[in-house]
Chain A
Amino acid sequence: SAVISQKPSRDICQRGTSLTIQCQVDSQVTMMFWYRQQPGQSLTLIATANQGSEATYESGFVIDKFPISRPNLTFSTLTVSNMSPEDSSIYLCSVEDTTTEAFFGQGTRLTVV
């Protein structure tokens, strides 16, 4: 299993600003993902964070809005840029191990005012 540390756990931000969320894993993992979970909704995949190359974004998500870094096999960041109230959500980092099970960080609860 993998232990994931995600921070901050929550934040309240002004619209127009940016927030960077960090995800640290206790072991090297190939696959790291970033999800968004809006109130009462399912987890929606934002992008796959690729080590050494640009992230792979899902439909509806773009790099300018959600830039992602993956400098090594244990760490990734997601930035929510130029925030608006519609970006208020829980953001989750996830990794998968060789058994295909997904592990999640504690999540970042973001409120944009």
Chain B
Amino acid sequence: GQNIDQPTEMTATEGAIVQINCTYQTSGFNGLFWYQQHAGEAPTFLSYNVLDGLEEKGRFSSFLSRSKGYSYLLLKELQMKDSASYLCAARGDSTLTFGKGTMLLVSP
């Protein structure tokens, strides 16, 4: 079966760094995705990892360990606009399975 676990919510202050963890179990594995979803809006793509290691893209980085079934999303220099839900999603043999999302609240 497919299972994605991530924390329900996190808080952080503006300018800080936050790490959102995700563990996954899938039938087959063809990549790990992170999406950002602001309230009332559609998810938008942030990152994709299929090999072990760190992928950096501006203020956002994503890490994958396939042997551990583990990924994290690292957000640096947090801004108020980063307050959103962050969805971890794993692709198994065919379809994407999404976690429930981590609601991040950035405070001044």
- Decide if B96 touches A105 in the complex (CB within 8 Å): no
Tell me, in angstroms, the Cα distance from A107 to B44 when the chains sit together: 12
Interface mask (B41-55 → A, CB under 8 Å = 1, otherwise 0): 111110010000000
Taking CB atoms and an 8 Å cut-off, the chain B residues in 64-108 that contact chain A are 87, 89, 91, 95-101
Cβ of B63: which chain A residues have Cβ within 8 Å of it? none
How many angstroms between the C-alpha atoms of A100 and B48 in the bound complex?
9
Q: Complex: how many Å from CA A102 to CA B96?
A: 9
Q: Is the interface of B mostly helix, strand, loop or mixed?
A: strand
Contact residues in A for B33 (Cβ distance below 8 Å): 101-102
Residue on A nearest B30 in the bound complex, by CB? A100
Q: Cβ of B91 and Cβ of A100 under 8 Å apart?
A: yes
Residue from B41, B45, B95 in contact with A48 in the complex, judged by beta carbons closer than 8 Å: B95
Chain B residues with CB under 8 Å of chain A are 4, 30-31, 33, 35, 40-45, 48, 87, 89, 91, 95-101
Q: A45 contacts B95, CB within 8 Å?
A: yes
Q: What is the total number of residues of chain A having a CB less than 8 Å from a CB of chain B?
A: 20
Residues of A within 8 A of B (CB): 33, 40-45, 48, 58, 92, 99-107, 109
